[in-house]
Amino acid sequence: MKKIIRLKNYFAVTASCLLLAACSSMDEVPSVPVTYTAIWEYAPQTANTIAVEKDWWKSFESTQLQQLIDVAQTENPDVRIAAEHVKQAELQMRIAHASLFPSFGLNASSGESNTKNTDGNWSGDASTRASLSASYEVDLWGGAMANRHAGKSTYQSTVFSNEAMRLSISAGVATAWFNYLALHERIETAQKNIVIAERIQKIVDSLYRNGVATAAEVAQQKTNLLTQQAALLPLQLQFDQTRAALALLEGQVPQNFQLTLEKLMDLKLPNIDAGIPSDVITRRPDIGSLEAQLQAASADVYAARTALLPSVQLGGNMGKSASELFSLSPALQSTGWSLSLAQTLFAGGKYKNQVSLSKSRRVELLENYRKTILTALQEVDDALHRTTITQLQEINQQEIVAQSERSLKLTEARYREGDYDLQSLLDAQRSLFQAQDSLVQQRLARLKATVDLYKALGGGWQHP
């Protein structure tokens, strides 16, 4: 008897050690061979930087953008779909946790059968039965625990994926909004240049009537005016298409969607503190999602291994039966219990191949995890580089606009006096139009680079 007790204690201690080792192995994320540098390659050397907050879009100080993102976070169809994915993952996790509890079953029946004897008489037999049964699979090797762990990790992965999707939607709204404002200002610039072209047309017509300008110059300026007017049409089309795209992001009907315009050049451009490269794995929800998937994959490998080991099932039942319909008094009472042990002896390599398959999936996820980290490092440095380059380009473009305005003003005045030919005046006007249009696009490029940097840094998300 003492030997049996010692054997049971030894068995219990061994099982406990196995379960503790399983917990440790399933929580551990395999190391990824990535070497981080001390600083970003293109980090701006400035002290006036701000940390990335969760509501990062407020740093642009755009009231309309704030409203757009608030609506998109609740009304966007993809946001709602992702919320249901999270709910489904939570329910799957609860289903996996149901293995912690025994299952109970209740069975009741009542019936009567009649048999005709050889002498022509009928004899009847009635019975009523009720029973309660319980069963519980002993998680001897931690397989059920591994499934619960996989369910929890999968749920966490879905939550993180939901955060990544929300970040993507917010960045998409911000980019579309900036595109919308840029197109509006480009349309205004084109309209202003059409006004200039019309003014020059009047000057050329006046000079032609006075015999100073030629008919060729009149036709040349008319062609220039028509070209300016034709260039306005595709901008207006893009403007309307961008408004419709914003409506879709907002989950609204495009036909009735209205926006309050703001000045693109008045939006604030923040200097962002990018931190250090090694922080990227804790700041990006997509990386957090893959890390949780790796933990789920490790749990799947362990669960697949336990399928090779015996399973233990505990069962119990109790019931009553009587020979009268719908009556359990007087009745026969019965109770019982069972302990069953099952071991698969041959399955054609099914379970071993399942273990190998689970391992292969984990290796695939590990490589995807490493790839995502490397991509994140590249995206941050690329966005940092673009924020610096686009800032310098905008400064240069502002000087180009100033010089083009001065050149057009002087050229138009001298053309009135007859010192310049028409081609020089047209070139000056064209240069100003291109410079002003490029300035708007440079500001748009800076804003997009800033949004991309916020997105690459995880938008203020932190691994819980």
**pLDDT tens-digit series, residues 274-332:** 889 988 889 999 999 999 888 888 887 877 787 777 777 777 788 777 665 555 556 67
Question: Cα dihedral angle (437, 439, 440, 444), rounded to 10 degrees?
Answer: 130
The CATH architecture annotation of domain 2-107+125-456 reads: Up-down Bundle (1.20)
User: Is residue 6 pLDDT above 50, yes or no?
Assistant: no
Number of other CB atoms surrounding residue 223 within 10 Å: 11
Q: How far apart are CA 173 and CA 247, in angstroms?
A: 10
Rounded to an integer, the average pLDDT of 421-446 is 87
Q: How far apart are CA 448 and CA 174, in angstroms?
A: 8
Q: Alpha-carbon Rg of the chain, whole angstroms?
A: 38
**Strand partners of residue 122:** 116
User: Is residue 29 pLDDT above 70, yes or no?
Assistant: no
Under the banding of pLDDT at 50, 70 and 90, the label for residue 10 is very low
Main-chain phi, psi angles of 421, to 5 degrees: -90, 170
| pLDDT, mean over the chain | 83
Q: What is the pLDDT of residue 45?
A: 66
Percentage of the residues of the chain whose pLDDT score is greater than 90: 38
Q: What is the pLDDT of residue 26?
A: 56
Model pLDDT for residues 95-152, shown as the tens digit of each residue: 887 777 788 888 887 777 777 777 767 776 777 787 888 777 777 777 778 878 888 8
Nearest in space to 339 (alpha carbons), one of 107, 101, 140: 140
Sign of CA dihedral 450, 456, 457, 460: positive
User: Is residue 30 pLDDT above 90, yes or no?
Assistant: no
Main-chain phi, psi angles of 274, to 5 degrees: -85, -5
Q: How far apart are CA 144 and CA 149, in angstroms?
A: 9
Nearest in space to 427 (alpha carbons), one of 415, 442, 440: 415
Q: How far apart are CA 134 and CA 132, in angstroms?
A: 7
Number of other CB atoms surrounding residue 329 within 10 Å: 7
Assigned token pair, 134: 């319980």
Sign of CA dihedral 319, 323, 327, 330: negative
> Which range among 277-281, 438-442, 456-460 shows the weakest confidence by mean pLDDT?
277-281
Rounded to an integer, the average pLDDT of 379-395 is 94
Burial 130-140 (b: 16+ CB within 10 A, else e): bbeeeebbebb
Q: What is the pLDDT of residue 9?
A: 47
Under the banding of pLDDT at 50, 70 and 90, the label for residue 400 is very high
Q: What is the pLDDT of residue 19?
A: 47
What are the structural domain ranges in the chain? 2-107+125-456
